[in-house]
C-alpha cells in the first residue's frame, strides 16, 4: 500500500514477537529493483544490507526502542556475562552494586537485579535513567567523576541509553 500511495517509509519495527519477526523477514526477503544500501566491516563481522524500493526508498527493519532497551538491560545478566569497555568492565555484579546504593540514590529495585523478569519495561527504564548515571558519580559542578568500579557500567548505560534516546 505504501508503494501505491508513494509514501516514503524509513523503517518499521517489531517488539520481537515471533509473528512480527516473521513479517519482518518476509519483507526483508522481497526483491527490489534497486541495489541495496550496504555497509561492511569484515574485521568485526559486520555486514548490513538495506533493501531500496523504487517508490518508497530504503526500508530498515528494527526492533522497537523499549524492546531494545530491555535487551540491553538483560545482556549483563543473561547474554554477554562480562564485557571489557576499554576503561572499565561490565558484569552482573555491576548492576547488583548499583542497586545496593539504594532506591533513593540509584532508583533500582531489588527485583531489577535479583530473580529478574526479562520483560520488565519499568526495570529497563530505571536502569537507563539519569538517576542511575548520577548514582555512579561523585563530586559537583566541574569536579564530577565516575566512581572507578562503575566505569564500565556507566559507559555501557550512557552509550546505549543515548542510542535508544536517539531512535
Is residue 120 located within the same domain as residue 74? yes
Last residue of a domain, one of 63, 84, 110: 63
Whole-angstrom CA distances from 134 to 77, 129, 146, 147, 160 are 22, 9, 9, 10, 16
The per-residue pLDDT for 79 is 64
Low-confidence ranges of the chain (pLDDT < 50): none
Tell me the C-alpha distance between 76 and 83, whole Å. 8
Tell me the C-alpha distance between 28 and 107, whole Å. 40
Is residue 20 located within the same domain as residue 75? no
Is residue 96 located within the same domain as residue 150? yes
Last residue of a domain, one of 63, 81, 105: 63
Is residue 95 located within the same domain as residue 111? yes
The per-residue pLDDT for 80 is 65
The per-residue pLDDT for 4 is 81
Tell me the C-alpha distance between 120 and 105, whole Å. 20
Is residue 17 located within the same domain as residue 31? yes
Is residue 96 located within the same domain as residue 144? yes
Give me the domain span that covers residue 149: 65-166
Read off the pLDDT of residues 109-120 as tens digits, 9 standing for 90 and up: 999 888 888 888
Whole-model pTM?
Answer: 0.71
Counted domains in the chain: 2
- The pair phi, psi for residue 71, each rounded to 5°, is -60, -45
CA 72 from chain centre, in angstroms, equals 5
Is residue 49 located within the same domain as residue 81? no
Read off the pLDDT of residues 45-68 as tens digits, 9 standing for 90 and up: 889 888 888 888 888 877 777 888
Tell me the C-alpha distance between 127 and 161, whole Å. 9
> CA 138, 139, 141, 144 torsion: positive or negative?
negative
Amino acid at each position: 500500500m505504501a508503494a501505491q500511495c508513494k509514501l516514503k517509509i524509513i523503517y518499521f519495527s517489531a517488539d520481537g514477537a515471533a509473528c512480527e519477526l516473521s513479517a519482518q523477514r518476509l519483507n526483508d526477503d522481497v526483491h527490489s529493483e534497486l541495489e541495496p544500501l550496504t555497509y561492511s566491516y569484515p574485521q568485526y563481522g559486520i555486514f548490513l544490507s538495506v533493501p531500496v524500493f523504487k517508490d518508497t526508498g530504503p526500508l530498515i527493519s528494527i526492533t522497537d526502542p523499549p524492546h531494545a532497551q530491555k535487551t540491553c538491560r538483560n545482556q549483563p545478566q543473561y547474554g554477554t556475562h562480562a564485557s571489557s569497555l576499554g576503561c572499565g568492565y561490565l558484569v552482573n555484579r555491576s548492576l547488583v552494586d548499583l542497586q545496593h546504593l539504594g532506591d533513593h540514590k540509584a532508583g533500582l529495585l531489588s527485583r531489577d537485579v535479583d530473580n529478574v523478569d526479562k520483560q520488565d519495561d519499568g526495570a529497563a527504564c530505571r536502569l537507563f535513567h539519569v538517576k542511575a548515571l548520577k548514582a555512579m558519580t561523585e563530586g559537583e559542578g566541574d569536579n564530577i567523576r565516575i566512581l572507578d568500579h562503575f566505569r564500565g557500567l556507566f559507559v555501557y548505560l550512557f552509550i546505549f541509553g543515548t542510542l535508544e534516546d536517539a531512535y
